A and B are shown apart, each in its own frame.
Chain A
Amino acid sequence: MAARALIRGVRLGSNSIGRPRSLIFNSLHRRGIAACIDPSIGLTDEQKEFQKVAFDFAANEMAPHMAEWDQKEIFPVEAMRKAAELGFGGIYVNPDVGGSGLSRLDTSIIFEALSTGCVSTTAYVSIHNMCAWMIDTFGNNEQRERFCPDLCSMQKFASYCLTEPGSGSDAASLLTSATLKGDHYILNGSKAFISGGGDTDVYVVMCRTGGKGPKGISCLVVEKGTPGLSFGKKEKKVGWNSQPTRAVIFEDCAVPVTNRLGTEGQGFSIAMKGLNGGRINIASCSLGAAHASVLLARDHMCVRKQFGETLANSQFLQFKLAEMATKLVASRLLVRQAALALQDGRPDAVSLCSMAKLFVTDECFSICNQALQIHGGYGYLKDYAVQQYVRDIRVHQILEGTNEVMRMIIARSLLTES
């Protein structure tokens, strides 16, 4: 194309929400193009537009920096705020408090596309969205107006605090206590593995206000700077390096009762409802990584030659690629179906979200892993993106409910029905 000649001598300028010019004609950024795994199949025109914006944003604003953010462990505040300007800060939050008011399916499509640019950052944005939604849905009007607008614009960032050193899968056994004293709860305890912890401003904390078990748990919003709130050291992780992970520590931390979402004892239910959507979002992030990895593997196979021909001529690798593509499409269909079930309030929504999270995170990890294998030795080098996709999505099989807990939920649904 004549246009490619224009790349020479093009200034790399961009205004706040425009795209870097040099990337408009950069054909290296393949925006998800391969007919049978095309993620826009079956979408409405409007959803295709959402997806296009997300893909463009991922290709222009995230993918060029994904390796640097990972290596230097940068929390990309500017890039995320740019995303928020486009409406990605509160995708399924009500427009009256600054959200975009889209459906769960729209959200899944958007995160899937964004994830091709950087899984770790997109996953954090999805956690942020989940917290904003929880406040929007379970908060009273005063709380919604106090927190949601800043969260939707990403003026402030949020963290979800459920897990503790002593309670991961057994979340309902959490120990962080919140004792009522006048018009404040006094919090004592600590949370572990908190995404964004220490760098974020708003913490949605599940804590014990009542007796043992899930019914004794309430949900409080704690703001950074509250006396008694401190953070552990930044954890060193295998992936998800563009978001800091820290312990969140409460020592006689006083939180006003007006910061409680919903009623006392409702906290666990709020947490689980947040996680249903969170599981679809995390699965969607895995999808994006798998999609990008399939394209990378395909491109590598068309270029790399051994034994006198390109890898694309090897039937074994052709079959491998076909299997990867099939698993990708199957995963995508399951996630989108789960999103529909959740937004329509179907009775199978919770189980379907768990099935989607279980199946998709496992399958997509396998897809990315195989893509790495297809790259041979190059797949192991940090110069190639495929290893980052593998490292970043490995944790999706663990957080937001381990895949083992997903099995518990599905088995319970099967065995308690009769």
Chain B
Amino acid sequence: MSARVLVGVKRVIDYAVKIRVKPDHTGVVTDGVKHSMNPFCEIAVEEAVKLKEKKLIKEVVAVSCGPQQVQETIRTALAMGADRGIHVEVSGKDYETLGPLQVSKILAALAKKEEASLIILGKQAIDDDCNQTGQMTAALLDWPQGTFASELAFEADKLKVVREIDGGLETIKIKLPAVVTADLRLNTPRYATLPNIMKAKKKKIAMVKPADLGVDVSSRLEVLKVDEPPTRQAGVKVETVEDLVGKLKEAGRV
């Protein structure tokens, strides 16, 4: 069937860490904080590896954009079964302002270069919750997209995607090449096994710069301020229903 799948993996602050805002309010503290692979990206890698095990695709390539540390994330993908990795080097100020638009330009360029026929991404990252990269990548490539996928199947020359939408489940059939974004229930990511972690050491990670792909990573967005959510205020106790309605009217809630 199709030869190559590109899987995007993002290195984010670990989900279990308590996030703290930097004292200068320009962002959150990332120094010395535990990072790991975005959980939806894990689901994306798992799906790609499953397709390879079913012999529906030939090669899984894991891609990540960022500084040296993202190689850890790529290695995790390799330990789960990806065949090789591509590290797109972005560091310093460029990395701080790296967002979905630049990443989707990079992924689009890589998809053409690697002649990938399927891109699987996590539906969103847990740090910025953008939920944009998959959609933008598809638009840039003019490829069909199957977002919020909870089921993926090959049917003849098309991809059947069951999507989780507000109204329930929607099944669509899209032609390849395509972009799919993984939702929570698509699969359960495997644990890397000790032998696979050791094999991953021998797998190659190629290094590439955005400029080599003809992509300009400068941001069109400027973050003005980052604040913690407002602390929860104490409530007020009322005696009667009339009091309650009165207070709600006062607060402009009814």
Contact among B75, B124, B185, B194 for A2, CB-based, below 8 A: B124
B62 to chain A, nearest CB (A): 14
Within 8 A of B (CB), among A276-305: none
Q: Least Cβ distance of B219 to chain A in Å?
A: 22
Per the bound structure, the CA–CA distance linking A33 and B36 in Å amounts to 12
Give the residues in chain B near A102, CB-CB below 8 Å: 194, 198
Complex Cα distance, B126 from A404, in Å, reads: 51
B102 lies within 8 A of chain A by Cβ = no
Shortest CB-to-CB span from A158 to chain B, Å, is: 19
| A56 interface residue (CB < 8 Å to B) | yes
Query: Is B238's CB within 8 Å of the partner chain A?
Result: no
**Residue among A49, A53, A57 facing the most chain B CB atoms (10 A cut-off):** A49
User: CB of A138 within 8 A of chain B?
Assistant: no
Q: Quick one: closest A residue to B46, CB to CB?
A: A18
- Tell me if A46 and B126 are in contact (CB < 8 A): no
Q: How far is the CA of A11 from the CA of B33 in the complex (A)?
A: 30
Is A46's CB under 8 angstroms from B201's CB?
Answer: yes
Is B72 located at the chain interface by the 8 A CB criterion? Answer: yes
Contact with A48, one of B14, B42, B72, B188 (Cβ below 8 angstroms):
B72
A residues near B36, Cβ cutoff 8 Å: 52
Say yes or no: A1 contacts B190, CB within 8 Å: no
Establish whether residues A15 and B188, one from each chain, have CB atoms under 8 Å apart when the complex forms: yes
Interface size class of A (residues with CB under 8 A): 35 or more
- Verify if A35 is at the interface (C-beta below 8 Å from B): yes
Q: Are B197 and A21 in contact (CB under 8 A)?
A: no
Q: Which residues does chain A contribute within 8 Å of B192, judged by CB atoms?
A: 49, 52-53, 86
Residue in B42, B185, B188 whose Cβ sees the most chain A Cβ within 10 Å: B188
The reply to whether B189 and A50 contact each other, CB–CB distance below 8 Å, is no
A-B contact count (CB 8 A): 95
Across-interface contacts of B187 in A (CB, < 8 A):
18
> B34–A85 contact, CB under 8 A?
no
Those of A1-47 within 8 Å (CB) of chain B: 1-3, 6, 10-11, 13-15, 17-21, 24-25, 27, 29-31, 33, 35, 38, 45-46
B75 to chain A: which residues have CB within 8 Å? 45, 49
| Chain A contact residues: helix, strand, loop or mixed | loop
* A53 pairs with B191, CB closer than 8 A: yes
Chain B residues within 8 Å of A25, by CB = 15, 39
Q: Which residues of B contact A15 (CB under 8 A)?
A: 188
> A57 vs B197: C-alpha distance in the bound complex, in angstroms?
15
Complex contact B126–A3 (CB within 8 A): yes
Q: Which residues of B contact A262 (CB under 8 A)?
A: none
Please tell me if A87 contacts chain B, counting CB pairs below 8 Å: yes
A45 — which chain B residues lie within 8 A by C-beta?
Answer: 71-72, 75
* Residue A185, interface by CB 8 Å: no
Residue A359 interfacial (CB < 8 Å) = no
Q: Is the CB of B15 within 8 A of A1?
A: yes
Q: Which residues of B contact A101 (CB under 8 A)?
A: 198
From B33, B39, B72, B193, contact of A86 by CB (8 A): B193
Q: Mark B44-86, 1 if CB is under 8 A from A, else 0.
A: 0010000000000000000000000001100110010000000
- Nearest chain B CB to A13's CB is how many angstroms away? 7
A165 within 8 A of B: no
* Residue B32 is within 8 A (CB to CB) of chain A in the complex: yes
Contact flags (1/0) for B89-130 with A, using CB distance below 8 Å? Answer: 000000000000000000000000000000000001010010
- Say whether B156 faces chain A, with CB atoms less than 8 Å apart: no
- Please, which residues of chain A bring their CB within 8 A of the CB of B46? 18
A114 proximal to B (CB < 8 A): no
**Known pairs A18-B187, A27-B15, A33-B16; A49 contacts B197 (CB<8 A):** yes
Partner among B14, B39, B76, B194 whose Cβ is within 8 Å of the Cβ of A3: B39
Residues of B within 8 A of A20 (CB): 188
What is the CB-to-nearest-CB distance from A307 to chain B, in angstroms, rounded to a whole number? Answer: 21
A1-B15, A3-B15, A49-B76 given as contacts; is B193 within 8 A of A87 (CB)? yes
Q: A31-B14, A45-B75 are in contact. Are A18 and B190 (CB under 8 A)?
A: yes
Please name all residues of chain A whose beta carbon is closer than 8 Å to the beta carbon of B221 when the two chains form the complex.
none
Complex: A52 Cα to B196 Cα, angstroms: 13
- CB <8 Å contact, B185 and A21: yes
B17: Cβ under 8 A from any A Cβ: yes
- The reply on A91 being an interface residue by CB < 8 A is yes
A11 touches B16 (CB 8 A): no
Q: How far is it, in angstroms, between the C-alpha of A27 and the C-alpha of B195 when the chains are bound?
A: 29
Q: Does A76 contact B (CB under 8 A)?
A: no
Question: With A3-B15, A45-B72, A46-B198 in contact, is A10–B184 under 8 Å at CB?
Answer: yes
Q: Which residues of A contact B76 (CB under 8 A)?
A: 49, 52
Interface assignment of A373: CB less than 8 Å from any CB of chain B:
no
CA of A91 to CA of B194, assembled, Å: 9
**Which residues of chain A have C-beta atoms less than 8 A from B16's C-beta?**
27, 29-31, 33
* A-B pairs with beta carbons under 8 Å apart, 14 shown: A11-B185, A18-B46, A21-B184, A24-B189, A33-B34, A45-B71, A45-B75, A49-B75, A49-B192, A49-B200, A86-B194, A87-B193, A100-B194, A102-B198
13 further A-B contacts with Cβ under 8 Å, apart from A11-B185, A25-B39, A85-B193, are A2-B124, A3-B39, A24-B184, A27-B16, A29-B16, A33-B34, A35-B32, A46-B197, A52-B36, A53-B193, A86-B194, A95-B195, A100-B194
